Structure 1
Amino acid sequence: MSVAPPVHAPMTTDDLDAVTALEASLQAFPWSRGNFADSLLAGHDVRVCRSGSDLIGFAVVMPVLDEAHLLNIGVDRRYQGQGHGARLLQRVIDDARAGGAQRLLLEVRCSNRQAIAFYQRFGFARIGLRRGYYPATAGREDALVFDKELQ
């Protein structure tokens, strides 16, 4: 799919419906509209990536003192495999670093091998395990905790 150069911008309340719909298309247990709205209200770094009027992706980062925590990131399946996720994650890393974060943390489902490999390509390293962190069709699924030093 050919697209105009993507534009990264802060998410606004006008983006909530589109971001919630995108999240629902990507996840079996998606964030709700309220989760995204709460992140906006809390002052998290909530960003969207667009090409024209098309929503390509989004990212939600919670700054905490000298750390940043990537809470959620997603790219529309139609745009996956074209480097948009890599550019969005690099933007998250750059913004966290510019905001004074010394490291960036995230969780990923143990079963999500594609995401694990993606984060490792960016220099994230596994530092822990959160048991029963994610909802799953049969109970709960563990999460791997990754971090990346930024400074």
Structure 2
Amino acid sequence: MNALRTTALALWMLLLALPAAAVIETYEFSEPELEQRYRALSQELRCPKCQNQNIADSNAPISQDLRRLLHQQLEAGASDREILEFMVARYGEFVRYRPAFNAATAILWLAPVLLLLAGAAGLLMLLRGRKQSPTTLDSDDEARLTALLQTAEKDA
């Protein structure tokens, strides 16, 4: 039992130490504005390998390369637009979390609105289908109803 506790404690300590193994990169910027742009762009660019992490949060080697390239381009005087265009040309529109609106990405931008409209239309049709017109009784049904009501009044 003591060996099991020791093993569990060792595993727990190993798990706690994993964040310390993360790569921490620091870049020197010639101007504070460049560092702000670097942070914003690194949040905007998606890691091509991880796919659901931006390059700022990913430790994949490709993300490290992209961060280094981003730093170099910022220091070389490239604008944000030029950097994004370069990254898209090299890695495809997927590298951006917010892809530009064009014919290829129109479905990405319009799908939420189209789904919302389709849901509203479906709900409207469902509610319209539930409306029931008032039914009218024919003379035989009316006579039976009157007879039932009269017998109910006599019994009460």
TM > 0.5 fold call: no
**Greater relative CO (CA pairs within 8 A, separation 6+):** 1
Q: Which has the higher helix share?
A: 2
TM-score w.r.t. structure 1 length?
0.23
The structure number with the bigger radius of gyration is 2
